[in-house]
Amino acid sequence: GENVEQHPSTLSVQEGDSAVIKCTYSDSASNYFPWYKQELGKGPQLIIDIRSNVGEKKDQRIAVTLNKTAKHFSLHITETQPEDSAVYFCAASSYSSASKIIFGSGTRLSIRP
Amino acid sequence: DADVTQTPRNRITKTGKRIMLECSQTKGHDRMYWYRQDPGLGLRLIYYSFDVKDINKGEISDGYSVSRQAQAKFSLSLESAIPNQTALYFCATSAGTGVPEQYFGPGTRLTVT
């Protein structure tokens, strides 16, 4: 079955700098890659996703890139702000797996003032 | 108002007790999921349901059971709670085929002593 690895487990960046979180997946059939943000005491919230027919997607300060050949995908956050502090999860799924999403282990991002 | 609600939000119970966690949604989604979150392990799928008559095991279903009482309600039961079931539990929903985005509830923190 699918396995998703996520690095780093913790990340601390200066406010205003960029943050990058990387994930790899094992199942070449995976074609949907969401990213979730989890704030303290809350459930995960979908912040951006990418499908396998595109290589990059942007939404304001957040971007996701996908390299299907290498089975890598990454989350990029630019101009980080204090409210970006949270745990971020990458995930992978394929339509053939009937919407079952496999999550990475999470990255705790801290923004230093 | 929250689209996906979970009750209770916190629960402490003793080993051997039966406990039920409840999830309700107002998103009109057909698909519902139960996940467990442990530190450093991300979210793992316990059970999922594509409609009232369809229940499927996830990767860690042992020791758990579920009931889909209606399209909007999906309950998770621990028949005889044990300490290693101490975790955060999340319910999620998705719309259906071709629409894989999942939306999470706020979670239930369960402690088994």
Tell me how far apart the alpha carbons of residues B58 and B47 are, in angstroms, rounded to a whole number.
5
Higher pLDDT, A105 or B2: A105
Does A95 contact B103 at a Cβ distance shorter than 8 Å?
no
Does A46 contact B102 at a Cβ distance shorter than 8 Å?
yes
Token readout for B61 is 């279903």
- Contacts of residues B66-75 at CB distance under 8 Å and 24 or more positions apart, as own/partner, are B66/B34, B68/B32, B71/B28, B71/B30, B72/B24, B72/B25, B72/B26, B73/B22, B73/B23, B73/B24, B74/B23, B74/B32, B74/B34, B74/B49, B75/B20, B75/B21, B75/B22, B75/B23
Q: What is the pLDDT of residues A14-56, one digit of tens each?
A: 999 999 999 999 998 899 999 999 999 899 999 999 988 888 9
Q: Which residues of B touch A99 (CB under 8 A)?
A: 31, 48, 94, 96-97, 100, 102
> What type of residue is A8?
P
Token readout for A30 is 């995976």
Per-residue confidence (pLDDT) for residue B39, from 0 to 100: 82
Q: Which residues of B touch A103 (CB under 8 A)?
A: 42-44
- Rounded to 5 degrees, φ, ψ at A82 are -55, -35
B106: number of Cβ within 10 Å:
14
Per-residue confidence (pLDDT) for residue B38, from 0 to 100: 92
C-beta of residue B33 within 8 angstroms of C-beta of residue B51 = no
HEC assignment per residue over B6-67: EECCEEEECCCCCEEEEEEECCCCCEEEEEEEECCCEEEEEEEEEECCEEEECCCCCCEEEE
Does B97 contact A95 at a Cβ distance shorter than 8 Å?
yes
Q: Does A53 touch chain B (CB under 8 A)?
A: no
- In chain B, which residue's Cα lies nearest the Cα of A94? B100
Cis peptide before B8 (omega within 30 of 0): yes
Per-residue confidence (pLDDT) for residue A98, from 0 to 100: 58
Q: Does A6 touch chain B (CB under 8 A)?
A: yes
Nearest to A45 by CA among B81, B107, B61: B107
Does B100 contact A32 at a Cβ distance shorter than 8 Å?
yes
Tell me how far apart the alpha carbons of residues B3 and A96 are, in angstroms, rounded to a whole number.
27
Per-residue confidence (pLDDT) for residue A96, from 0 to 100: 62
Per-residue confidence (pLDDT) for residue B1, from 0 to 100: 57
Q: Which residues of B touch A44 (CB under 8 A)?
A: 43, 90, 104
Per-residue confidence (pLDDT) for residue B31, from 0 to 100: 93
Token readout for B112 is 């088994």
Q: List chain B residues with pLDDT less than 50.
A: none
- In chain A, which residue's Cα lies nearest the Cα of B109? A41
- In B, residues 60-89, which contact A (CB 8 Å cutoff)? none
Per-residue confidence (pLDDT) for residue B42, from 0 to 100: 87
Q: Does A95 touch chain B (CB under 8 A)?
A: yes
Q: How far is CA B43 from the centre of its chain?
A: 11
Tell me how far apart the alpha carbons of residues B104 and B87 are, in angstroms, rounded to a whole number.
16
Q: Which residues of B touch A95 (CB under 8 A)?
A: 97-98, 100
Q: What is the pLDDT of residues A46-99, one digit of tens each?
A: 999 998 888 899 999 999 999 999 999 999 999 999 999 999 999 998 766 656
Per-residue confidence (pLDDT) for residue A18, from 0 to 100: 98
